[in-house]
Structure 1
Amino acid sequence: MRVSLPDRPGVLGQVARAFGVLGADILQVTVLEREAGRAMDDFTLSWPGGFGADELRERLSVVPGVRIEGVWPTREVPGANPDYDLLGHVASDVERAFVTLVDAVPDLVSAEWAVAVDSVTGAVVHGSWQAPGVEAMPDLTPLRPSSFSEGTLHLLSLPVKAAGLHLVVARSEGPAFHQVELDKVVRVVEIVALLADTAAQGTVA
């Protein structure tokens, strides 16, 4: 759950108590930003009954100034390090570096699917298991890393110049991708590209 709240002492405790009343366990809190007197936090929650987004908004409205920006499911395991796991898999089989990247990157940002698109033709080269079955993507490939929305579909898009590809990551549930999420994927892609390039140079030598 992404929550915008006043950045002042005691508010986070009020939110935590509200979750407790709902029977929810807070498994993880990620601070996305703090500016202009407000904070934006992602809460990873677990509770048996579950509530719809509208009911959650209503129940948390008892905390003054709190807004729910989005509620969506995640496969992320709190306390795990999927980015490290991804890089470990890439390092162990660099010939499949970009296939591994596409398969694993959705879990880094609680997304649903990802595809690698040929930068020249727009053809889909590889898709993660939940990716839509399309042979080509519409023009969702800006020249620099960016996050944007197409209707209810939220997207991250960034070039992978070393491979002549463009990576597109998507989720249709929850809020638009935050800059923190985009920055995380950019850093991971840079390291994957470096590992693949280093291995290729070693093979040539």
Structure 2
Amino acid sequence: MLLRIRVSLPDRPGGLGQVARALGALGADILQVTVLEREAGRALDEFTVNWPAAAGEVTDRLSGAPGVRVEGYWPTRELPGSAPDYDVLTQVAADPARGLATLVDALPALCGADWALALADGVVRHASLAAPTAFDLPDPPLRPAARAGADLRLMVLPVAELHIVVARSTGPAFHRAELHRATRITDVVAKLSGRTPETTHP
């Protein structure tokens, strides 16, 4: 099972190695490590791993390492070393008229999310697989924003007359690094598609 695991750990020499050793001892194959932030003596890292056990064991089995806190984990389809952003942009450049629909279809895999959709005036204009056919977005933001509720973690990306919503039901809230990446690719797709985004980068 391919998982992304977000871990908070002490920002000191050997801290990352400690988590890597713990993952190795649990039989996980580490494919990629991304440092999301470092502040106040702690680091926030994301590990992409092949996890051999039941996903529910991640927190229990990793949290035994001193100072380590599992912020969340969720399945991912993005293989480390691939370049899905470029693949999406290539598809959009080949057919700009479908640019935003192509983006909505691709965002779940790009963002480790369950689904994405594009709303205009409260109506779903395009939806990826597994997305609802109707969605209420109270108080749509003017800028890209991440929101977390009891059931869903959302990114909302305003572009032209639309709001693109990206959602996942498990794992932690979208990090600002994820929001920044999604915003950048949305802006590029909007330009290729001839849309004028109403966004500024977070």
Fold shared per TM-score above 0.5:
yes
Whether the aligned pair in 1 keeps the contact of 2:124 and 2:133 (CA below 8 Å) is no
Letter in 2 for 1:96: R
Letter in 1 for 2:30: I
Aligned residue for 1:72, secondary structure, equals strand
Q: Which aligned pairs between 1:64-103 and structure 2 lie closer than 5 A? A: 64-103=66-105
SS at structure 2 position matched to 1:9: coil
Give the SS at the match of 2:75: coil
Q: Secondary structure at the match of 1:3?
A: strand
Question: d(CA) in 2 for partners of 1:166 and 1:140?
Answer: 11
Q: Could you say which residue in structure 2 is the equivalent of 1:124?
A: 124
Over the matched positions of the two proteins, sequence identity in percent amounts to 58
**Residue pairs, 1:99-114, within 5 angstroms:** 99-114=101-116
Q: What is the Cα-based RMSD across aligned positions, in Å?
A: 1.4
Q: How many residues align?
A: 191
Work out whether residues 140 and 157 of structure 1, in 8 Å CA contact, stay in contact via their aligned partners in 2: no
Is residue 2:194 matched to residue 1:197?
A: yes
- Structure 2 stretches lacking a partner, 5+ long: 196-202
User: Separation in 1 of the partners of 2:139 and 2:86?
Assistant: 28
- SS of residue matched to 2:102: helix
List gaps (5 residues or longer) in structure 1. Answer: 199-205
Instruction: After the TM superposition, list the runs of 4 or more consecutive aligned residues in structure 1 that deviate by more than 6 angstroms.
Output: none
Q: TM-score, normalised by structure 2?
A: 0.90
In the alignment, which residue of structure 2 is the partner of 1:203? none
Structure-2 separation of matches of 1:39 and 1:188: 26
Whole-angstrom distance in 2 between the partners of 1:186 and 1:137: 21
Q: Structure 2 matches for 1:8-23, cutoff 5 A?
A: 8-23=12-27
**Alignment partner, residue 136 of structure 2:** 137
Asked which structure has the greater CA Rg, the reply is 1
Deviations 1:34-74 (A, max 9, x none): 1111111111110333341xx33232233211000001111
